Structure 1
Amino acid sequence: MENFSSLFSKFPTTSDEAKAAFANHLEEFEVEKGFLLEKEGQVSKYLYFVAKGSARSYYIRDNRDITVSFTLDEEFVTAMHSFITRKPSYENIETMEKSKVFKISYEGLQSCFLDFPELERAYRMILEQYYIVLEEQQIFNKFKTARERYLELMQYRPKVIHRASVGQIASFLDMTIETLSRIRARI
């Protein structure tokens, strides 16, 4: 669990006792590229921490694969709406490469919250970050040109450019592969 320690570096005020309790609820596993962590139509049972590797969240609309987010090393991911509401998810989450992942069940997380309320603060911080990214993505797609969206992705999430396929990036940026290729050729 060497990569697990990086998880709590983001929450330095969490007590060692709370960290140990949380760790006791974690499962560590490795998966290959293309593994579905979450599947559309099922209730999201786990909050994942991608210690090493990457994943993408996407949904299918009118037979189109639409990427909504990317998760890279040392980031959390789940189908958040489903995880919180306990309703079936509309999204899929798949790994983009061989990945080392930790997961905690919804029930395990709730148990940790009861025993260690300080973990709720860490979780709230995760949710706040998730919300900020979502809001920025909405603004990003509505008010920026295709070129501006690509340049911002290059600036703020350059690893995505190297780890995701051109089609996934184009989908995420809400443009065609051809438009993305033209933009890349001019940069």
Structure 2
Amino acid sequence: MDNIIRRIRSFYPMSDEALQILVSCLKQHTFPAKTKLINAGKFDRQVYFIEEGITRSFIIHDGREITTWFSAEGDATCGSWDLYRNQKGFEYVETLEETIAFSISINALNKLYTQHIDIANWMRVLQQENFLWLQEMHINRLVLPVKDRYVRLVSKFPKLLQRVNLGYIASYLGTTLPTLSKIRSEVCAQISSNDLSADATPSLSIRSVT
């Protein structure tokens, strides 16, 4: 459970005692690729922590799947409406490769919040970070062209392209697969050009974006 523990402590310095209590409540699963962990329109009262593997969150609109999020090693994934409102949600979560995950029921997690301040504070900080990332993503969609958003995404998550279908990434960025394929080729060509010229000043390369 190294990836999960490392991520927990990257957000909050949880005590060994609280961490041991949290871990003791987790149940291990191994899911094949294309397993739906969360289903729209159904109660899914579980939170999943990913030790190995990757998942995709998506909605279905007018018969078309629209990717909303990716979760990988150390991340948590769940139905937001289940977690916060105790209501059926509208998102699906499926594994994109064989995934080892640990689950805890939302009821059990809520009980831990009331009993252990470290666990409550860890989740508070985790949700703060998720909110800030969602806010950044929303603003970027409003003000940045697709190419800039693509570069920022692969800069922040450099291994994503190796593990996720490009069509899913196009959907996440709000563009089409042909458009993203063209953008990807342009970015790769620009990186190659920068590598060939030590004096070149990269304006939009994966390595230059902060």
TM-score bracket for this pair, using the shorter chain length: over 0.9
Map of 1:27-176 to 2, 5 A cutoff? 27-176=27-176
**Larger C-alpha radius of gyration, 1 or 2?**
2
**How much identity, in percent, do the aligned residues show?**
27
Residue 177 (structure 1) aligns with: 177
CA distance in 1, matches of 2:28, 2:183: 40
| Structure 2 CA distance for aligned equivalents of residues 21 and 146 of structure 1 | 44
Q: In the TM superposition, what is the alpha-carbon distance from 1:111 to its structure 2 partner?
A: 1.7
C-alpha distance in structure 2 between counterparts of 1:27 and 1:88, whole Å = 23
Q: Which moved more, 1:1-10 or 1:76-85?
A: 1-10
- Residues 30 and 179 of structure 1, relative CA distance in 2, 3 Å threshold: same
Cα distance in 1, alignment partners of residues 81 and 160 from structure 2: 24
* Larger RCO (CA within 8 A; separation ≥ 6): 1
User: C-alpha separation between the residues in 2 aligned to 1:16 and 1:179?
Assistant: 48
Structure 1: distance between partners of 2:57 and 2:153: 16
What's the C-alpha RMSD, in Å, of the aligned pairs? 1.5
Q: 1:61 to 1:121 in 2, by over 3 A?
A: same
SS in 2 for 1:158: coil
2:19 counterpart residue number: 19
Give 1:4 shift. 4.5
SS of the residue 1:183 aligns to? helix
Instruction: Please state how far the C-alpha of 1:73 moved relative to its aligned partner.
Output: 1.1
CA drift of 1:6 comes to 2.6
The number of equivalent residue pairs is 187
Unaligned residue ranges in structure 2 (runs of 5+): 188-210
Q: What amino acid is the match of 1:152?
A: R
Q: CA deviation at 1:8?
A: 3.7
Q: Pick closer, same or farther for the CA change 1:146–1:3 going to 2, 3 Å.
A: closer
CA pair 72-3 structure 1, distance change in 2 beyond 3 A = closer
**Aligned with 2:33: secondary structure?**
coil
* Structure 1 residues 48 and 183: alpha-carbon distance in aligned structure 2, compared to 1, 3 A threshold: same
The residue aligned with 1:5 is 5
Residues 150-159 or 86-95, more deviating:
150-159
CA distance in 1, matches of 2:59, 2:95: 14
Tell me how far apart the structure 2 counterparts of residues 126 and 5 of structure 1 sit (CA, whole Å): 13
- Cα displacement string for residues 18-56 of structure 1 (whole angstroms, at most 9, x for unaligned residues): 122211211111111111110001123111111111001
TM-score under structure 1 length normalisation: 0.93
Compute the displacement of 1:80 (Å). 1.9
Q: Deviations over 1:54-107 (max 9, x none)?
A: 001100000111000111111111122331111101000011111110111111
SS in 1 for 2:21: helix
- For structure 1, which segment, 94-103 or 132-141, has the greater mean C-alpha deviation from structure 2 after superposition? 132-141
